[in-house]
Structure 1
Amino acid sequence: MSQTTVPRSARPIGPNYKWIALSNTTLGMLMATINSSIVLISLPAIFTGVGVNPLAPGETNYLLWMLMGYMIITATLVVTFGRIGDIYGRVKLYNLGFAIFTVGSILLFLTPGSGDSAIIMMILFRLVQGVGAGFLMANSTAILTDAFPAHQRGMALGINQMVAILGSILGLIVGGLLSVVSWRAVFLVSVPFGILGTIWAYLKLRETSTVSTKHQGIDWFGNITFFLGLTILLIGMTYGIEPYGSSAMGWGNPMVIAALVIGALLLVAFVWIEMHVAAPMFQLSLFRIPAFTTGNISGLLSGLARGGLQFILIIWLQGIWLPLHGYNFEDTPLWAGIYMLPLMVGFIIMGPLSGWLSDRFGARIFSAVGMFLQTIGFVLLTLLPTNFAYMPFAFILFVMGVGQGMFASPNTTDIMNSVPASARGAGSGMRSTFQNAATVISMGMFFSIVTAGLAASLPGALYSGLTQAGLPVSVANGVAHLPPVAALFAAFLGFNPMQTMLPPAVLHSLPKANQAHLLGKSFFPNLISGPFVDGLHIAFYIAAAMCLVAGCVSLIRTRRAQLVASEVEHVEVIAPEVEAVAEMAGEQ
C-alpha cells in the first residue's frame, strides 16, 4: 500500500519529527506571547484609531479589559484545554488553537465602526484570541514532551521557553513600530503566521502519545467552577486597581469585595469537587509527585515576582526616565521596549543553555541559582536613583534575564518529566495556569503597591508643584486629589499626564512660559519621581522575597526524584513497543 493511501494520522513519524514539533510549537508560543504584550504599547494608537479616550470617566474599563482580558482568558482555560487534549488528542487541540487565534486576529483587523461599540467588539475579539492562545499554551509543552526523549527534553523546552519570553519583549517593539503605521497593522501581523502555523500543524504534527483516556468523561462541574471561580477572582483583582469614590483604589468597592469572596468560594468548591469525581479535570493526585509540587510552587512564586515587573518598569521608563532624557511622551512606549532589551538578551543566552545543561546535571541547582540571581536583581533595582544611568540598569536587567533563563527551562522540564504520559496535557495546563494567573495577580499586586505609595504622597507634591507653576489654589487642590491611577495610566499610554489632568480652560489662561513648563518633559517626571519610587521599592522588596523563597523551594528537589522520573519515562517508552510486538505476533 502506498503512503498516499495511508491515513495521515497513521503514517509513521520520521527521525526528524521532534524538530518539526519544536519549530511549530515555538512559532505558536511566539505568536501567543507577542500578542500578550503587543497591545501594551499599541493602546494609544488603538484608542485614538477608534475614537475613544481611555482616560475619560467611564472609559477606563475598556482600557483594563483590552490590557488584561486576554491574560485572564488564557489563565482560566489552559487546564481545561490541557485535560481535553489528554482525552481527544493534544495535536488536534493545538491545531484548533492556531485556527481560533488566527480567526481572532482577522476579526480584530477588520473591526468595523468607531467609538464604544468598536472597542467592545475589539475586547470580544481579543477574548477569542485568548481562547486560541489557551489551546496553544496548554498543549505545546505536552507535545514537546511527547516528541523528545528525556535526555533532550530540557534543551527543547529551553528553546520553547526562551521564545516565549522573547515574544513578550518583542511584542513591545513590534507594537511600537506597527502602531505608528496603523493600529490595524498591530493585529494583521499575526494573520500570515497564524495561517502558516495552522496549515503546518495540520500537515506535519502527529499524535505521538500512546496512552489513551478516551474512556473517561469530562469533569463538567469541575471545569465550570474552576473557570467561574478564577475568572471572577481575577476580575475582582483587576477592578481593585481602579479608583472607587474618593479612594485611589477600588479594594473597598462592594463589587470588588463580592468578586473576591465569590471567586474564592468557588475555587474551594472546585477543590472539593476534584477530590470526589472519578476523572478530575485538575488532577490533584499529581501534587503527590514531589518534583511536580516543588516545581509549580517555584514557578508560581517566580510568576508573581516577574509578572508585574515588565509593567512597572515600563511605567518607570515612560513616565519618568525617558522624558527626563529628552524623549517626547508619545515616543516613550517604543523606546521603553528598546531599553528593556538586555532582559531579553540575558534570557536568550541562558534559556537554551540551561536546558541543555539540566538534561545532563539535573534541574535543582540551575533552578535555585536562577531564582537567587533574580533576588539579587530586584535588590539592586532598589539601589538605583530615579533618574539612573542606563548602563547599571541594563546590567541589572541582563542579570535578571540570565536568572530567569536559568530557572524557566530546567523548572519546566522537571515538572513535565515528573508526570506520567497520560497526564501530560493536564500537567502542562496546570503549570501554565499557575504562570498565567500569577502574571495577572502580579500586575494587580505591583500596581496596587505603587498606587498606594502615590496616594500617600503625590497629592502634596502635586499641590506644591502646581501652585508654584501659577495655578490658582482651588484648581491645584482639585487636580492634586485626582486618583493617582490616572497619572500612571496616562504615563503608561504615552500621554503627558499634565495635559490630561489639567482643565483646558485653566491651562490656556496661564502665561505661555507657564504652559510650556507644565507641559514640558521634566515637570511631571520630577514631581512624581519621589512618591513613585517609594512604592516601587516596596514592590521590589516583596518580589525579591518571593524569588528567594522560590530558590529555596527549588533546592528541595532531590536527585532521587529525578531518577524516578527517568525510570518512569523508560517504562512508558518501552511499554508501547512491547504491546506492538505482541499485536504483530498475534496477527501472525
Structure 2
Amino acid sequence: MLLATINSSIVLISLPAIFRGIHLDPLEPGNVSYLLWMIMGFLVVSAVLVVLLGRLGDIYGRVRMYNLGFLVFALSSVLLSVDPFDQGAGAMWLIVLRVVQGVGGAMIFANSAAILTDAFPAHQRGMALGINNVAAVAGSFLGLVIGGLVAEWDWRAVFWISVPIAIAGTVWGYRSLHELGSRRTSSMDWWGNLTFAVGLTALLVAITYGIQPYGDHATGWTNPWVVAGLVGGIGLLIAFVLVEQRVEDPMFSMHLFAIRPFAAGNLASLLAATSRGGLQFMLIIWLQGIWLPLHGYDYESTPLWAGIYLLPLTVGFLVAGPVAGRLSDRYGARLFATVGLVLVAGTFIGFLLIPVDFDYWVFALLLLVNGLASGLFAAPNATMIMNSVPADQRGAASGMRGTFMNSGSALSIGLFFSLMVAGLASSLPGSLRSGLTAQGVPSDVAGQVADLPPVGSLFASFLGYNPIQTLLEPTGTLDSLSADHATTLTGKTFFPQLISGPFHDGLVVVFLAAAVMSLIAAAASALGGAKYVHQED
C-alpha cells in the first residue's frame, strides 16, 4: 500500500523534471492534456478497476490477485524508466504505462484490506487496517519529499524508486502470503462490469477535461463533450445499479448497501477523500506559488520544499492512525470517525482565517491537527466497512471502498481546481493587468496576458515555474523592457504579491466547500451505528 501511494504522489511532484527530461513544455496549450493525464491516468484506472479486481479476488483468491499486482507494478516501473521517446511520443509512453501501473496498483489496493480482514480476528482488525491506512496516506506525502529529492538527480530515478520495493514485495508475497479467506464460485457479470467501467470512466474523464478552458470560458464545464460525459457516465452508473439487482451473480451485491455501517462508511469515505484531495492540491499551490517565493525560495526548488513543509500533516496521521484503529477495536468506530471529521472541518476554517503570507508555526499546527484528525477517521472507518460484510464478499467490498476513495481523489482535482479558477477569474485579470502595466508592459500585451485562463497560472505554480515569466516569454516583451522592470517581473515576489488577494478569494470558496463535505461525512459516520461485526450463519 505504501508503494502504491508513494508512486502516485512521487510523479505528481516530479512532473517538471519529467517533462524537461522528455523535452516537452507542459504549459503550451496543445500539451495541457499530457499534463492532466500524467496526473489523472493512474487515479482513473485505479478507481475504475478496484471493484472488478476485488471481485476477482473473491473468486480466484485475494492473495493471487495481490501478488500479481506487485508483479505488474514492478514491470511497468522498469518500462517507465526506459522511455525511448521524446516530446509528445515520450509523454504518451509514460501515460500508457502509468495506466498499466495503475492496474497493478488497483490489484494491490482492492485486495489488501480484504486480506487483512481475513487474517485478523474482529478485535484486532482496527489496528491492522489502521496501519494499512497509515501506509496509504503517509505514502502520498512521503512521495512528495522523495520525488523532490530524486528528480533533482535524474527524472528516470522517479520510476526506479518503485522497482526494488516492487520486486521485494513480489518475492515476499509469493513466498509468505497464503489464502485464508472464503472463495465464492460464480460466473462473470459482463454487463455489470461493462456499465460500471464505461460509466465511471466517462464520468472521471469528463471531470478531467472540465478543468481545461473551453472557448471564452475559464473552465470546460460548458463543453458539449464534457456535458455528454457527465450525463452519460451518470446514466450508465444508474444502469449498473439496475443490472446488479437482476443478474444471478452480480459483480457487486447491491444489498450490501442495506447494511448501515457499510453504506454510511463508504459515503463518509467518498466525501473525506474528496475534501482531503482538495486540501493537498490547494496547499501545494499555496506554498509553491506564493509563500515559498515570498520567503526567498527559487521557483525550481519549491516542489521539494512544499513536500518538506507539509510533513506535519503526515506526522499527525502516523501518530493517530494506529492508535485510533486499536481503540476502535474496543469501543467501535462511530465516535472516533465522527470526531475526526469534525476536527478536519475545523482545520479548513482555520486555514481560511490565517493570512496568505502566514507564520509557519500556525500553518504547521493546523497541518498537524488535520493529520491527527484524519488519522482518527481513517482506520475506524475502514474497520466499520470491512467488519460489516460477509466473508465471501470482502474482496468486492474492499474494491468498492477503494472505488469511493480513488473516485473522491480524482473528483477533488476537477472540483477544487474549478472552484479555485472560478474564484480567480473574477479578480485575477484586473490585478494582473494593472500590475503588468505598472512595470512597463504595453497595455495590449498586459490585456492579452490578463485575459488568459487562470488555470495556466495555477498549473505553472503547481509545477514550480515562474508564472509571469511563463506567460510573458511567448510574447517577447521581456526583451524590450528595462533591466529593472524585467528583473522585477521575473523575480520571486512580484507574482506572489499580485495573486495573494485573488488566491485568498478562491481559497475561501474551496475550503468552505471542503469543510461542508467533512461535516456531511461526519454526520454519515455518526449514523453508521454502534460497533457491528457481521457474523456468519
8 Å contact kept, 2:85–2:93: no
Q: Name which of 371, 383, 386 aligns with 1:401.
A: 371
Partner of 2:304: 334
Q: Given residue 12 of structure 2, which amino acid in structure 1 is its aligned partner?
A: L
SS in 2 for 1:277: coil
8 Å contact kept, 2:80–2:94: yes
Q: Does 1:528 align with 2:499?
A: yes
Q: Name which of 508, 526, 536 aligns with 2:479.
A: 508
Task: For residues 375-432 of structure 1, give each alpha carbon's deviation from its aligned partner in whole angstroms, at most 9, with x where no partner exists.
Answer: 1111111101110110011000111100100000001001100001000000000011
Partner of 1:262: 232
How many angstroms apart in 1 are the aligned matches of 2:124 and 2:60?
A: 26
Partner of 2:417: 447
Q: TM-score, normalised by structure 2?
A: 0.99
Task: For residues 460-488 of structure 1, give each alpha carbon's deviation from its aligned partner in whole angstroms, at most 9, with x where no partner exists.
Answer: 00000000011111111111101110111
How many angstroms apart in 2 are the aligned matches of 1:123 and 1:49?
A: 15
SS in 1 for 2:246: coil
Partner of 1:113: 85
SS in 1 for 2:272: helix
Q: Does 1:100 align with 2:72?
A: yes
Partner of 2:380: 410
8 Å contact kept, 2:278–2:514: no
How many angstroms apart in 1 are the aligned matches of 2:23 and 2:528?
A: 54
Partner of 1:458: 428
Q: Given residue 74 of structure 2, which amino acid in structure 1 is its aligned partner?
A: T
SS in 1 for 2:152: helix
Partner of 1:201: 173
Partner of 1:542: 513
Partner of 1:45: 17
Q: Does 1:184 align with 2:156?
A: yes
How many angstroms apart in 2 are the aligned matches of 1:553 and 1:480?
A: 43
Q: Given residue 345 of structure 2, which amino acid in structure 1 is its aligned partner?
A: T
How many angstroms apart in 2 are the aligned matches of 1:475 and 1:546?
A: 41
Partner of 1:20: none
Where do residues 21-420 of structure 1 align in structure 2 (5 Å cutoff)? Answer: 29-209=1-181, 211-214=182-185, 216-420=186-390
How many angstroms apart in 2 are the aligned matches of 1:479 and 1:368?
A: 46
8 Å contact kept, 2:205–2:229: yes
8 Å contact kept, 2:273–2:405: yes
Q: Given residue 532 of structure 1, which amino acid in structure 2 is its aligned partner?
A: F
Q: Given residue 174 of structure 2, which amino acid in structure 1 is its aligned partner?
A: Y
Task: For residues 56-79 of structure 1, give each alpha carbon's deviation from its aligned partner in whole angstroms, at most 9, with x where no partner exists.
Answer: 121000000001110000000000
8 Å contact kept, 2:55–2:395: yes
Tell me the CA shift for residue 504 of structure 1: 5.1
How many angstroms apart in 1 are the aligned matches of 2:272 and 2:219?
A: 26
How many angstroms apart in 2 are the aligned matches of 1:557 and 1:226?
A: 26
Q: Which moved more, 1:550-559 or 1:374-383?
A: 550-559
Q: Does 1:556 align with 2:508?
A: no
Q: Does 1:494 align with 2:464?
A: yes
Partner of 1:584: none
Q: Given residue 428 of structure 2, which amino acid in structure 1 is its aligned partner?
A: L
Q: Given residue 61 of structure 2, which amino acid in structure 1 is its aligned partner?
A: G
Unaligned runs of 5+ in 1: 1-28, 573-588
Q: Name which of 480, 483, 489 aligns with 2:450.
A: 480
Tell me the CA shift for residue 254 of structure 1: 1.4
Tell me the CA shift for residue 272 of structure 1: 1.2
Q: Given residue 304 of structure 1, which amino acid in structure 2 is its aligned partner?
A: T
Q: Which moved more, 1:310-319 or 1:244-253?
A: 244-253
Higher Rg of the two aligned structures: 1
How many residues were matched structurally?
Answer: 536
Q: Which moved more, 1:270-279 or 1:43-52?
A: 270-279
Task: For residues 306-336 of structure 1, give each alpha carbon's deviation from its aligned partner in whole angstroms, at most 9, with x where no partner exists.
Answer: 1221011100100011000110000000000
Task: For residues 216-273 of structure 1, give each alpha carbon's deviation from its aligned partner in whole angstroms, at most 9, with x where no partner exists.
Answer: 1111111111111001110000000101112111111111111111111111111111
SS in 1 for 2:414: helix
Tell me the CA shift for residue 155 of structure 1: 0.4
How many angstroms apart in 1 are the aligned matches of 2:316 and 2:56?
A: 36
Q: Given residue 508 of structure 1, which amino acid in structure 2 is its aligned partner?
A: D
How many angstroms apart in 2 are the aligned matches of 1:552 and 1:254?
A: 36
Q: Given residue 537 of structure 1, which amino acid in structure 2 is its aligned partner?
A: V
How many angstroms apart in 2 are the aligned matches of 1:468 and 1:558?
A: 61
How many angstroms apart in 1 are the aligned matches of 2:164 and 2:521?
A: 39
How many angstroms apart in 1 are the aligned matches of 2:260 and 2:221?
A: 36
Moved over 3 A (4+): none
Task: For residues 483-507 of structure 1, give each alpha carbon's deviation from its aligned partner in whole angstroms, at most 9, with x where no partner exists.
Answer: 1101111111100011110135211
How many angstroms apart in 2 are the aligned matches of 1:456 and 1:114?
A: 38
How many angstroms apart in 2 are the aligned matches of 1:411 and 1:137?
A: 16
Partner of 1:422: 392
Tell me the CA shift for residue 557 of structure 1: 2.9
SS in 2 for 1:307: helix
* Aligned sequence identity (%): 56
Q: TM-score, normalised by structure 1?
A: 0.90
